[in-house]
Structure formats: C-alpha cells, structure tokens
Amino acid sequence: MNTTDAVAFWDGVYAARPAAHGPRPNVRLTETVTGLPTGDALDLGCGDGGDALWLAGLGWRVTATDISAVAAERLAALARSHDLGAHVTAVRHDLRESFPPGEFDLVCAHYLHTPFALDRAAVLRTAAHALRLGGRLLVVDHGSAAPWSWDQDPDTRYPSPREVADGIGLDPATWTVERADAPRRIATGPGGRTAEVTDHVLLIRRTA
C-alpha cells in the first residue's frame, strides 16, 4: 500500500466522524506529565488533539502532527477556539517521509498504529534523538483491542514495552527506560460504550 492509500485512509477516518469539540487527553499522558516543568512538546499522531490541547493548557508549547490533513486542520481550528492557538502548531507529516524539526522536552506517541507499512522503530528512534537532555519519550501502545477499534484482527500481536524498547535500539548510556509496563483501564468508546483494555507503556528519558 502506498502513501496515497495511507493518507486517504486516515483522512477518511477523521472526515467520517464529527469534529471533536472537547477531546480528552490520554490518561497515560496525564499521569506521566502532571508535575513536570513545561517546555516544548511533540505529539506524534495527534488525532483529535486531546493531548495537545491539554498540554497547551498547562503552558507547554506543542507541535502536533498527523498524517491526516483533516485531523491537523481541525486541531488548529480547535486550538484557536480555545485561545490556545499561540501554544499549538498543528502540521501534517507522513512519518514515513518526514519528521517535525526541532528539539523537545517531551515527545509522546499514543497508539501510533496503522494498517500501512511504517518503520515505527525508526520513527521512535528519531523521536528519542530529538529530545533535549532530561527530555522524555512516552510511547503508549495498544495491548489489546477495544470492541470499537478499527483493528479487529484476532491474530494481531502486541509487542511488550520492553520489546518496543529493544527494537528502538537506544544506547543505555544516553537513554534510560524509566517505565515499561502493561496497566489496564476502562476505556469509553463511541456512544458511551465501555470496555477493559490494556495499555503498553514505555517511558524513556534522555540522560546524557
């Protein structure tokens, strides 16, 4: 499947549902970032923008990116409507081809999964190298499929956080794994439907 297919797929996913007016941040982000000093953040695969808006509301300067121009444009408009336009820069990037420039104190990648070819390890390695000293890379993956997920393949395998870390292949003299676990939570989906899901959480800090 080519780039055009991936862009069309994700534009279709977002265009098929109403624009979010008050998207919520992911719980793994809020539990990780609360109490940290603010700085520059990069949100990979920003989607509806709940994480970016929450970070901006705390005073972070956020670059939010998605392969879908629909998602990026909606987030930019939403940030302006929340008087957060000065704190959120929403841009379209296909991470197979380009990566947002700059250095960051936080890079978050929540559920950066796709049915299309993507060298995630290379993307996350680039993200780790974009961290300033002391900066953190937060990777949250699905450890199970919610009933409303687009991916209902029963043969899907969910790599553990340690496997993801090993795949990125970072030098432990420069980057330290601070968290690698698989907590469960009750997720809420379309129409208020709920289900227990598993998250795979990996937190890496640049220490040198």
Per-residue pLDDT tens for 65-117? 999 999 999 999 999 999 999 999 999 999 999 999 999 999 999 999 888 98
pLDDT band at 22 (very low <50, low <70, confident <90, very high): confident
- In order, the DSSP letters of 163-200 are HHHHHHT--TTTEEEEEEE--EEEEE-GGG-EEEEEEE
Length of the chain: 208
Mean pLDDT score of the chain, rounded to an integer? 93
Q: Percent of the chain, pLDDT > 90?
A: 81
Mean pLDDT, rounded, for 36-65: 97
Residues 6+ apart with CB under 8 A from 69: 7, 11, 92
CATH fourth-level superfamily of 3-206: Vaccinia Virus protein VP39 (3.40.50.150)
Distance CA 196, CA 10 (A): 25
Whether 2 shows a pLDDT value over 60: the answer reads no
Residue in the structure block whose two tokens are 């601070």: 178
Q: What is the pTM of this model?
A: 0.92
Give the model's pLDDT for residue 3. 64
CA-CA distance, 14 to 127, in Å (whole number)?
Answer: 25
Instruction: Determine the pLDDT at residue 155.
Output: 79
